[in-house]
């Protein structure tokens, strides 16, 4: 089986990762028709397959991971990737064409079984049952080797793409922040010297949460271990933590720039962050952007919005500087939950900002 055929089995056309059979299905298909310039569902899949075949020569790939099973406060981020893609089209109807012209291939979405998260946390019986549902045309023996949970599918799909195109940049749309873990894991395996800059109100540095190894509160711990500590994980915007900065930096070897420090002197903080990243020895950076790192006044449609956060222009300036002065391996936008806003207009406002962040991250990564 070639790489394109394998991706077709694991993924779905962009906007199709949330499994719908009746309610919402027409709206989902309408978005896909616009994204692919296609007349019907068959034409959508045909155009998507053509895109997948170009992944081996792409400058960059984009993957939607519409899973919020790894969240722990308020859900709704599974609808983030679809909403962000719809906003990209609203802002620029030629967005898909411009992406293709820039060498960006949209791989589509991980097809999410919404009760699952990561394969290692499943019983063998559940893995077998889910594999029968996801891969009905394979025999029982072959199904055992295929992933069934969203994080595991994302890792397998990106590992497959990077095996054939190891220099491709990778962008992702979540989903709760656990969706960043398979992206970082796949990139780190393909590209030694990776670092991560994480925009976030929270540390996500627990080794486990309620016995769960991979979730929104633990992914950064595992990424930090994977990167080898040493300040290669840089967290910016921290302000909601049960421990102070000294605890996290001294015990785990991360480098943190708390929101209060950034807000006091944004220009000095920007210089300090870039200086640290350049001195850390990383070759390139993955920019993982939890929308709650931004102040809730600008982005409250998320599971855990927090006040006193980062200004959007600071986040934009940071990703631009990292792109110019360090080099970006890609980036993501996570935790956008369009329907859980706390203020009038909060949903559209948050989604618009997320679309802006994605465009800016792509521009900073792919700039000549």
The predicted-structure confidence for 236-248, as pLDDT tens digits, reads as follows: 999 999 999 999 9
Residue 64: pLDDT band (50, 70, 90) is very high
Report the Cα–Cα distance between both ends of the chain, in Å, rounded: 35
| Maximum Cα–Cα distance across the chain | 60
Is a pLDDT exceeding 90 seen at residue 99? yes
Residues 271, 273, 279, 281: is their CA dihedral positive or negative? negative
Q: 360: how many CB neighbours lie within 10 A of its CB?
A: 21
Residue 72: pLDDT band (50, 70, 90) is confident
Tokens of 27: 């709206």
Strand pairing class (328-334; 255-258): unpaired
Give me the percent of the chain exceeding a pLDDT of 90: 98
Residues 68, 71, 73, 77: is their CA dihedral positive or negative? negative
What CATH number belongs to 3-366? Answer: 3.40.800.10
Do residues 314 and 274 lie in contact, with contact meaning Cβ atoms separated by under 8 Å?
no
Average per-residue pLDDT for the chain: 97
The string of DSSP letters for 124-192 reads HHHHHHHHHHH-TTS-HHHHTTS--SHHHHHHHHHHHHHHH-TT-EEEEEESSGGGHHHHHHHHHHHST
Taking each helix axis from N to C end, the angle separating 80-91 and 346-366, rounded to the nearest 10 degrees, works out to 80
Looking at residue 137, what is its pLDDT?
Answer: 93
Among 340, 353, 334, which Cα is nearest to 177's? 334
Integer Cα distance of 37 and 138 in angstroms: 31
Looking at residue 27, what is its pLDDT?
Answer: 95
Integer Cα distance of 120 and 337 in angstroms: 27
Backbone angles phi, psi at 310, to 5 degrees: -80, 150
Looking at residue 319, what is its pLDDT?
Answer: 98
The string of DSSP letters for 266-304 reads HHHHHHHHHHHHHHTT-SEEEEEEEGGGB-TTT---SSS
Residue 232: pLDDT band (50, 70, 90) is very high
Residues 48, 50, 51, 55: is their CA dihedral positive or negative? positive
Looking at residue 73, what is its pLDDT?
Answer: 84
Strand pairing class (328-334; 233-238): unpaired
Tokens of 242: 């049960």
Is a pLDDT exceeding 90 seen at residue 313? yes
The CB-side HSE value for 209 (13 A sphere, CA atoms) comes to 18
Is a pLDDT exceeding 90 seen at residue 368? no
Per-residue pLDDT tens over the stretch 167-212: 999 999 999 999 999 999 999 999 999 999 999 999 999 999 999 9
Among 169, 181, 164, which Cα is nearest to 290's? 181
Mean pLDDT of 127-143: 94
Cis amide leading into 341 (omega within 30): no
Mean pLDDT of 142-155: 96
Tokens of 366: 């792919």
Mean pLDDT of 329-346: 97
The helix/strand/coil state of 200 is coil
Do residues 54 and 322 lie in contact, with contact meaning Cβ atoms separated by under 8 Å?
no
Looking at residue 1, what is its pLDDT?
Answer: 80
Scanning the structure block, which residue is given the tokens 């055992």? 144
Q: 133: how many CB neighbours lie within 10 A of its CB?
A: 10
């Amino acid at each position: 089986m070639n790489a394109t055929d394998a991706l077709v089995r694991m993924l779905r056309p962009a906007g199709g990762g949330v499994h719908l059979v009746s309610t919402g299905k027409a709206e989902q298909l309408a978005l896909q028709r616009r994204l692919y310039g296609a007349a019907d569902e068959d034409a959508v899949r045909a155009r998507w397959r053509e895109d997948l075949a170009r992944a081996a020569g792409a400058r960059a790939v984009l993957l939607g991971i519409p899973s919020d099973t790894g969240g722990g406060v308020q859900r709704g981020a599974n609808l983030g990737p679809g909403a962000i893609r719809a906003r990209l089209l609203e802002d620029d109807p030629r967005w898909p064409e411009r992406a293709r012209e820039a060498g960006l291939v949209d791989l589509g979405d991980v097809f999410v079984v919404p009760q699952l998260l990561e394969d290692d946390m499943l019983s063998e019986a559940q893995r077998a049952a889910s594999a029968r549902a996801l891969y009905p045309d394979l025999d029982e023996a072959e199904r055992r080797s295929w992933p069934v949970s969203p994080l595991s599918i994302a890792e397998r799909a990106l590992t497959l793409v990077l095996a054939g195109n190891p220099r491709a940049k990778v962008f992702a749309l979540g989903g709760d922040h656990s969706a960043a873990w398979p992206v970082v894991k796949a990139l780190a395996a393909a590209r030694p010297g990776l670092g991560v800059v994480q925009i976030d109100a929270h540390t996500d540095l627990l080794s486990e949460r309620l016995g769960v190894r991979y979730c929104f509160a633990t992914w950064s711990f595992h990424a930090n271990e994977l990167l080898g500590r040493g300040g290669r994980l840089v967290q910016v915007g921290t302000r909601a933590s049960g421990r102070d900065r000294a605890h996290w930096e001294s015990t785990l070897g991360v480098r943190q720039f708390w929101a209060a420090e950034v807000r006091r002197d944004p220009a000095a903080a920007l210089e300090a962050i870039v200086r640290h990243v350049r001195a850390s020895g990383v070759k390139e950076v993955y920019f993982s952007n939890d929308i709650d790192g931004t102040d809730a006044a600008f982005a409250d449609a998320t599971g855990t919005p927090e006040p006193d956060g980062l200004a959007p222009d600071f986040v934009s300036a940071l990703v631009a500087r990292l792109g110019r002065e360090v080099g970006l391996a890609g980036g993501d936008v996570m935790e956008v939950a369009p329907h859980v806003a706390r203020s009038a207009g909060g949903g559209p406002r948050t989604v618009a900002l997320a679309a802006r962040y994605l465009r800016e991250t792509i521009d900073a990564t792919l700039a000549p």
